[in-house]
Chain A
């Protein structure tokens, strides 16, 4: 059974600081996804990582993928309040023998304080 674990689950940061969110998964997968969810809102796609060593950056967020370690990281640089949200990673599952389903981690709730 594929499991996706994120840590930390809660993160309180000060503005201007750096931090990393970790996403470990239990079986082989070459695709990993990061999403953002604001309170009361839907999920917004941030990054799609398609191969080992993939790195993508958007503003203050940078995501990387190490398929050998089954690990993805989401690095936050010089956090600002607008980054406060819940961040989910997801890995392609295999329900019913079909690819293309996503198994989500439980999410990391990030709070950036002045």
Chain B
């Protein structure tokens, strides 16, 4: 089983709709992240959470909100989707307890906003 899972994997929605992307992890990591990837722009950080009670904005948080329901779950919401939020969204986790704090990425959610 995958360590970091994302649902749904693909989603088509209409402008103005509210949608939620979910991320779950079985790695036992405290830190979780949401990124979006656009062609030619690399990955940009939307929100991150270092534990259940800690939520922080990243580079491009406008238009998004998050919820850390448990150590293993971190959800991203688009309150009112717009076409320029069409992108590939990745959830990631990391663990500072080890020396090497690499991030482990989920499979991604491809979102199309019409």
Contacts and interface: CB of A to CB of B under 8 A. Distances in A.
Given A88-B42, A95-B58, A106-B42, A100 B102 contact: no
Contact of B56 (A41, A42, A98, A107): A98
A98 B40 CA distance: 27
A23 to B, nearest CB: 12
A98 B44 CA distance: 16
Contact of B106 (A42, A95, A98, A103): A42
Interface residues of B, number: 29
Contacts of B44: 104
Nearest to B107: A42
A101 B106 contact: no
B94 interface: yes
B74 interface: no
Contacts, number: 65
A43 B41 contact: no
Interface residues of A, number: 25
A95 B100 contact: no
Contacts of A107: 42
- Most A-side CB within 10 Å, residue of B42, B48, B50, B108: B42
Contact of A102 (B40, B45, B106, B107): B45
Contacts of A78: none
A9 to B, nearest CB: 8
Contacts of A95: 45, 48, 56-59
Given A50-B99, A95-B58, A105 B42 contact: yes
Contacts of A50: 99-100
21 contacts: A9-B40, A31-B101, A42-B90, A42-B107, A42-B108, A43-B90, A44-B105, A45-B102, A45-B103, A50-B99, A95-B45, A95-B59, A96-B56, A96-B57, A101-B45, A101-B58, A102-B103, A103-B59, A104-B44, A105-B42, A106-B42
Interface of A: 9, 31, 33, 35, 41-45, 48, 50, 88, 90, 93, 95-96, 98, 100-107
